[in-house]
Amino acid sequence: DGGITQSPKYLFRKEGQNVTLSCEQNLNHDAMYWYRQDPGQGLRLIYYSQIVNDFQKGDIAEGYSVSREKKESFPLTVTSAQKNPTAFYLCASSTPPGQGRDEQFFGPGTRLTVL
Amino acid sequence: GQNIDQPTEMTATEGAIVQINCTYQTSGFNGLFWYQQHAGEAPTFLSYNVLDGLEEKGRFSSFLSRSKGYSYLLLKELQMKDSASYLCAAMDSNYQLIWGAGTKLIIKP
């Protein structure tokens, strides 16, 4: 079955530690996205990538980093520079924007808690 | 600036009809999306409108008025499983999605 996987579902880290969230898709989508979701707020875009080896900052990229070495994978690193990292992180993928409906398919999310 | 407004919370009765409104202001427009999100889960796609009018899909319908910057999601024959948050998102001229904060829908028996 095609889909997006994120691991782990729950993650606990100590303050000051870097942590990497995994995102893998087998939908053959070129575009991938990372969002952050906080209670009472809409999804906020952290980074996105429209093609392998290329990615752009979203609205809240500070304190985060990504890589896109393979089409299927788009890992997100939450660095110690991120001031408030506790949140629900969602990864999504889609066909390249501008080619039609462009709906984004989401992974199950990772809930990160920094202690 | 770019902005999406939708009510924070709505309550409806099982078997009834509910309409969730969304207004948007974006730099350019390339479509309006509705997603459903159950607590602690990923959003799932419900509908997409890019032209004015009503799109019907089973118990769910979505309407768009581009001139008014307005959309609504209509849910008929409500079921308990429809209790969820409903997210409105508009795609701007750069094909980026601008997301509303979501409307939490509570269904009562």
Give the pLDDT mean for B49-66: 96
Put simply, the answer to whether A40 touches B8 (Cβ < 8 Å) is yes
Put simply, the answer to whether B31 touches A106 (Cβ < 8 Å) is no
Minimal-distance CA residue of chain B relative to A101:
B48
pLDDT number for residue A25: 97
Spell out the per-residue pLDDT of chain A, length 115, in tens. 679 999 999 999 998 899 999 999 999 999 999 999 998 888 999 999 999 999 999 999 999 999 999 999 999 999 988 889 999 999 999 988 777 667 899 999 999 999 8
Give the pLDDT mean for B16-39: 96
Total length of chain B: 109
Could you tell me the two tokens for A5? 């996987």
- Give dist(CA B37, CA A90) in Å, integer: 12
Minimal-distance CA residue of chain B relative to A44:
B99
pLDDT number for residue A79: 94
Give the pLDDT mean for B80-96: 95
pLDDT number for residue B32: 96
Please give the sequence-ordered ranges of beta strands (E in DSSP) within chain A, or none if there are none.
4-7, 10-13, 19-25, 31-37, 44-51, 54-57, 64-66, 76-78, 87-94, 105-106, 110-114
Closest by Cβ to A42, choosing from B42, B44, B102: B102
Query: Which chain A residues are within 8 Å of B100, Cβ to Cβ?
Result: 42
B84, HSE (Cβ side, Cα atoms, 13 Å):
19
Residues with Cβ < 8 Å from B17, sequence gap 6 or more? B74, B75, B76, B77, B78
Query: Under DSSP, is residue A93 helix (H, G, I), strand (E, B) or coil?
Result: strand
Could you tell me the two tokens for A104? 């984004």
Give the pLDDT mean for B19-45: 95
- Any A CB within 8 A of B13 CB: no
Please count the residue pairs, one from chain A and one from chain B, whose beta carbons lie less than 8 angstroms apart: 52
